[in-house]
Structure 1
């Protein structure tokens, strides 16, 4: 395998000149550049990307930090980020934080050590001071960290209201909510949408709300407890699809038919929602567009391109399937 020294010797120039050609930095005459490029081709020389990164302090790489790679929503999001980054000439390092503050900070430190050009993060623990200390472009996705930080989210409250109104239109008269964690902004917004629709109903009870922690197993347990306490519940809005699938499993464990005895609707529109029996009615957010938009915005920031809008709220839609 040829080295940069071999290229320099073959072209009859210094190593520094070859380096300037490779990194397109500093003056090199057209004649010299042609000689170096010819030698690179003749010797089939491939630059050492690690050395180039150290030299430029640039890696053509972005970091993506997600809280739970086991939730199918995030692999779908990661696919969109990777596809878009590749088209724009960047690589992606995927980090799973488990929503853990210390783990998230360790990943930030590692990404900086690898000279990533920017980071896309979905976090409910990072704060604006941590972001500012990074001194590289950051885009928040799915969850808002700070009003001043470039952010891509969806109409969470609107979607939750659509879901709850839809259950009412299907004849549900006792609608429960399996909510996400209290610390997460989008979970609060979806809870707020549910409350907006049914909070003033005469039948409404605070005990119609259970925390499923955005997790299937937790949602199964929460739904079993909820229906045990309130067998009259005939509709459930779960704040994500994974919890909705857990609610369906719990309903069947109790001998309830979905949707004949209880209608269930989720939120996210993950591919798995079409594979359940019955197929899940859900509020679909544009997952691929979220990842694509966030990555494009991050690259624009990294490359100092003008950006008209750094805070984007994407719309959602209701897709009816068999669970309602």
Structure 2
């Protein structure tokens, strides 16, 4: 049986274009529409009306696709989603993708076949074609802690660039004279926004240079490696803004190993506000997201859509706040 992807491939267009032709939603030029319709007839493609009808017979189950359960940030998000879903009588299926496109694609395919009521997607690779397939099957979707470059779906995330600016301004206010940034993977818009916030503050300062930005891959190991490279290239750096708390923890461990005192010699700030930032010595200053509220809002909004209480697409950015702790104690010169 032909699928929407088969039609798109044969017609030489995206899945999203086929979806627009089928649903008469969005602009498609006449020649492209005619070509798509011709392929639909040739392949005898029939939209999945069974899935659509079954979607109206609610299963009471939603799915949460995560990049990794090993990051405490996503563990805390998961708890909020589960608590909120349970309060409305829904069960949550957790899918750990390890940020692998193939695994995420497999989950999407399996979930739409199992007629899940809705999906919360907190992983990184959801694209326009995946969104078209999900919409074509009539499955409500909320994207959590990520932003799509294109696509018409609800998104709930934090004010990442604003939070990054708060972090860098705080480091400068404590007396730092040269602040570096350990950045997350730049294929993630979340990481891009935090890097942009750092640049907004430092780009016109006399000491700034591009080599003060190092990749850390949102991991403890990445934070360690970035600090080792940073200290070799810039031994005079005295402030570090890490794009998430795991990288900040890795940076702290590396600084201790190198005999560099925090905050006496280098001040350090992370981003997320996970509980582990209170377990380090010194405790880590961090830009805290409203993690529980983010997960709860995503679950409740999705369930409202599943149950027909709203058909509104929501694009919500939640506030962030700086939590000042021992890793950025104010210094005097």
TM-score, normalisation: structure 2: 0.79
- Structure with bigger gyration radius: 1
Q: Distance in 2 between matches of 1:201 and 1:224?
A: 24
Residue number in structure 2 paired with 1:139: 142
Residue number in structure 2 paired with 1:286: 290
Q: Distance in 2 between matches of 1:85 and 1:131?
A: 23
Residue number in structure 1 paired with 2:203: 199
Match of 2:319 among 315, 319, 322: 315
Residue number in structure 2 paired with 1:248: 252
Q: Distance in 2 between matches of 1:162 and 1:294?
A: 25
Q: Distance in 2 between matches of 1:68 and 1:158?
A: 25
Measured against aligned partners, the alpha-carbon deviations of 1:291-320 in whole angstroms (never above 9, x if no partner) come to 000001100111111266611110000000
- Cα RMSD, aligned residues only: 1.5
Q: Distance in 1 between matches of 2:265 and 2:56?
A: 63
Q: Distance in 2 between matches of 1:224 and 1:117?
A: 47
**Is this contact kept in 1: 2:247–2:270, CA < 8 A?**
yes
**Is this contact kept in 2: 1:59–1:114, CA < 8 A?**
no
How big is the shift at 1:69? 1.2
Measured against aligned partners, the alpha-carbon deviations of 1:110-155 in whole angstroms (never above 9, x if no partner) come to 2223221000001321112212212200000000123521000110
Residue number in structure 2 paired with 1:228: 232
How big is the shift at 1:202? 0.9
The answer to whether the aligner puts 1:215 opposite 2:223 as a matched pair is: no
Residue number in structure 1 paired with 2:64: 64
Counting only pairs closer than 5 Å after superposition, residues 92-241 of structure 1 correspond to structure 2 as: 92-134=92-134, 135=137, 136-145=139-148, 146=150, 148-241=152-245
Q: Distance in 1 between matches of 2:145 and 2:289?
A: 10
| Distance change (3 Å), C-alpha of 1:94 and 1:204 | same
Measured against aligned partners, the alpha-carbon deviations of 1:178-217 in whole angstroms (never above 9, x if no partner) come to 0000100010000000000001111111111100000111
Q: Distance in 1 between matches of 2:314 and 2:128?
A: 16
Q: Distance in 2 between matches of 1:193 and 1:148?
A: 26
TM-score, normalisation: structure 1: 0.81
Shifted more, 79-88 versus 220-229: the winner is 220-229
Q: Which runs of 5+ in 2 are unaligned?
A: 1-53, 329-333
**Is this contact kept in 2: 1:297–1:307, CA < 8 A?**
no
The answer to whether the aligner puts 1:272 opposite 2:271 as a matched pair is: no
Q: Distance in 2 between matches of 1:95 and 1:219?
A: 26
**Is this contact kept in 2: 1:282–1:319, CA < 8 A?**
yes
**Is this contact kept in 2: 1:62–1:120, CA < 8 A?**
yes
Residue number in structure 1 paired with 2:76: 76
Q: Distance in 1 between matches of 2:152 and 2:123?
A: 15
Q: Distance in 2 between matches of 1:250 and 1:87?
A: 43
Residue number in structure 2 paired with 1:27: none
Q: Distance in 1 between matches of 2:201 and 2:130?
A: 37
Q: Distance in 2 between matches of 1:227 and 1:283?
A: 23
Q: Distance in 1 between matches of 2:99 and 2:160?
A: 20
Q: Distance in 2 between matches of 1:266 and 1:55?
A: 42
Measured against aligned partners, the alpha-carbon deviations of 1:15-35 in whole angstroms (never above 9, x if no partner) come to xxxxxxxxxxxxxxxxxxxxx
Aligned residues between the structures: 271
Q: Distance in 2 between matches of 1:147 and 1:290?
A: 20
**Is this contact kept in 1: 2:179–2:241, CA < 8 A?**
yes
Q: Which runs of 5+ in 1 are unaligned?
A: 1-53
Q: Distance in 2 between matches of 1:70 and 1:114?
A: 26
